[in-house]
Structure 1
Amino acid sequence: MTQRFTFELQATDDRARTGVIRTPRGDIRTPAFMPVGTAATVKAMLPESVRATGADILLGNTYHLMLRPTAERIDRLGGLHRFMNWERPILTDSGGFQVMSLTDLRKLTEKGVEFRSHIDGSKHMLTPERSMEIQRLLGSDIVMCFDECPALPADRARIEESMRLSMRWAERSRDAFGDRPGHALFGIQQGGLEQDLRAESAEALRTIGFDGYAIGGLAVGEGQEAMFGVLDFAPEMLPRDKPRYLMGVGKPDDIVGAVKRGIDMMDCVLPSRSGRTGQVFTRRGVVNIKNARHQDDPRPLNEYCTCPACQKYSRAYLHHVFRAHEIISSMLMTWHNLHYYQELMQGMREAISAGRFADWEAGFHAERAQGDIEPL
Structure 2
Amino acid sequence: MSEDPPTISAVDLFCGVGGLTHGLVRSGINVTAGVDLDPHCRYPFEANNAAPFIEQDVKDLDAATLKPYLDEGKYSLLAGCAPCQPFSTYSQGGRSKKRGMDWQLVRDFGSLVADLQPDLVTMENVVQLTDHEVFSEFLESLKGYSVSWTKVECTKIGVPQSRKRLVLLASKLGGHGLDLASQFGENPRTVREEIGKLPPINAGEQHARDPLHIASSLSETNMKRIKASKPGGTWRDWDPDLIAACHRKTTGSTYPSVYGRMEWDAPAPTITTQCFGYGNGRFGHPTQDRAISLREAAMLQTFPRNYKFLKRGEQVTFSRLGRMIGNAVPVRLGEVIGKCLSEHVRAYESGATDAVASAVPEQLGRLF
Q: Same fold (TM over 0.5)?
A: no
Q: Which has the higher contact order (CA 8 A, sep 6+)?
A: 2
TM norm structure 2: 0.32
| Structure with a larger share of its residues in strand | 1
TM norm structure 1: 0.31
| Structure with a larger share of its residues in helix | 1
